[in-house]
Amino acid sequence: MSNLSIEAKVGVFVVIGIIILGYMSMRLGKLGFKMDKGYEVKVYFDSASGLEEDVSVEIAGVEVGRVSKVLLEDGKALVILRIDSNVKLRKDVKASIGTRGILGDKYVVLVQGSSAAPLIEPGGRIVSTTTATDLDSLMNVLGEVAKNISTLTRSFANVMGGEKGEASLRSIVDSMQAVAETLNRTVQENNEELVKIIANLSEFSATINEISSKINKGEGSIGKLINEEDTVEKLNGTLASLKEITEKINRGEGSIGKLLNDEETVETLNSTL
């Protein structure tokens, strides 16, 4: 220190002072919510991994409390929050564990619900929780993706590696090229025939459309038969007559009905046959 100039010494002390002041400010900020002011509410999470006591509780990025305790209860993480007495939480408030910064520091995020919902009493519970996508989950997903890619690459290398694999790959490529050349040659050699086939299909489709249009308009024998009301009425009358005759026969009316429904006549016919 004796070799440093006065300006350098002053600079060092200023830097040290700023560091100490910042540290004390952080400590005092944390101690503020450790006092007995405010009220406690509890919330259950499936996992509170990385969440520590005394971290902040925030609404819309504004600190409104601190995490008082993190406990295990019935297989779930019980997190007790101490909330500023000036902040009133509604029963439909949603809680989640957020991640801050590159280091992934955890804190509790609250999202207020409807202003018409009743207030949570001191010692009450936040029922609604959401699982936020944090850095740990993202890293796990990326790890699984990387593992799958590595497995796929290794399998491909095992199949295609060596002289046999290279020969198989070359054979596949050659076969695909041969098929493409054959198709191309076939199209070129039969180009005129293909054009005729396409033209015939187009003409056939146009003919079908024309016939269908004529039938719908009642033109031609089929069109008149389908669209003429007299024909339809005659067919309906014929069907009604046949139905009536069948019913009479089933009831035993008329000569044929009596003949078919008379047991003696039926027995006589059977014995004769």
β-bridge partners, 62 = 59
* Structure tokens belonging to residue 65: 């409390």
What's the burial of 82, exposed, middle or buried (CB within 10 Å: 0-12/13-18/19+)?
buried
Residues 6+ apart with CB under 8 A from 43: 78, 79, 81, 95, 108, 125, 126, 129
What are the extents of the domains in the chain?
A: 1-32, 37-132, 229-261
With a cut of 70, say whether residue 29 has pLDDT above it.
no
Which of 133-137, 186-190, 231-235, 261-265 shows the lowest mean pLDDT across its residues? 133-137
β-bridge partners, 99 = 106
What is the rounded distance in angstroms from the CA atom of residue 191 to the CA atom of residue 186? 8
CA-based torsion, 218, 222, 224, 229: positive or negative: negative
**pLDDT tens for residues 65-88?**
999 999 999 999 999 999 999 999
**pLDDT tens for residues 166-219?**
777 778 888 888 888 888 888 787 777 878 888 888 888 888 888 887 777 777
φ/ψ of residue 265, rounded to 5: -65, -40
